[in-house]
A and B are shown apart, each in its own frame.
Chain A
Amino acid sequence: DAKTTQPPSMDCAEGRAANLPCNHSTISGNEYVYWYRQIHSQGPQYIIHGLKNNETNEMASLIITEDRKSSTLILPHATLRDTAVYYCIVRVAFPTGGFKTIFGAGTRLFVKA
């Protein structure tokens, strides 16, 4: 019951920008979009999140469309170590408080030398 859709895989040349798209057309007004990545067999790593404004941190930039139905994660200068599965998620809130994270299939990014 993931609320997002992403392409299954993408390639990127080392040193170039990697642009990873995500569709979240059913997102509601107060739900944030989160991005994580997971390198093989390691725990997911938090990258960035946003509500409606574009966001940037030391790892990446997040561009959210005005209608909030899609977003793009940008890794400005991809390195070989950025090869991972990238997950775009919209969390499921519990009525009792708290939430759960649901990962879809994600996008497998291959950064090539």
Chain B
Amino acid sequence: KAGVTQTPRYLIKTRGQQVTLSCSPISGHRSVSWYQQTPGQGLQFLFEYFSETQRNKGNFPGRFSGRQFSNSRSEMNVSTLELGDSALYLCASSLAKTSGGTDTQYFGPGTRLTVL
């Protein structure tokens, strides 16, 4: 079974631009979460999508947004980029089980965003 895929893998943007990152979850997985990872702050939760709805949200400004499509694929968008947005953006998917034990989350390879 194919793993979580993210595109693009690397991206260079300038301040003020916007960017869209894409994530394809493992087949059958309905929950997609996004994280930002930086050396200083570690792994920070951005938001989680389930059934095309944002179910949970972290503590990030409104410049960070996302969506999920009916096939569970997800995109996240960052508008008005700042230098501090340079990070590894990780997508993770899970089945979103509601019963029968735990729900394992699998991460994609990440998109490395550099803002100049």
Contact = CB atoms under 8 A, between A and B. Distances in A.
Q: Do A and B come from one complex?
A: yes
Interface of A: 32, 34, 36, 41-46, 49, 51, 91, 94, 96-105
Contacts of A91: 105
- Summarize B's interface: helix, strand, loop or mixed: strand
- Summarize A's interface: helix, strand, loop or mixed: loop
A43 B58 contact: no
A47 to B, nearest CB: 11
State which size class the interface on B falls in: 20 to 34
Contacts of A36: 107
Contacts of A105: 42
Contacts of A42: 109-110
A100 B92 CA distance: 10
Interface in B1-51: 4, 6, 31, 33, 35, 42-43, 45, 48, 50
Given A32-B102, A96-B55, 18 more contacts: A42-B109, A43-B90, A43-B107, A43-B110, A45-B107, A46-B107, A49-B104, A91-B105, A97-B50, A97-B96, A97-B98, A98-B33, A98-B50, A98-B55, A99-B103, A99-B105, A101-B105, A105-B42
Interface in B95-116: 96, 98, 102-110, 112
A36 B42 CA distance: 14
A105 B109 CA distance: 19
B94 to A, nearest CB: 8
B79 interface: no
A46 B91 CA distance: 13
Contacts of A49: 102, 104
A100 B56 contact: yes
Please indicate which of the listed interface residues B31, B35, B50 has the most CB atoms of chain A within 10 Å of its own CB.
B35
Please indicate which of the listed interface residues A44, A51, A105 has the most CB atoms of chain B within 10 Å of its own CB.
A44
A94 B109 contact: no
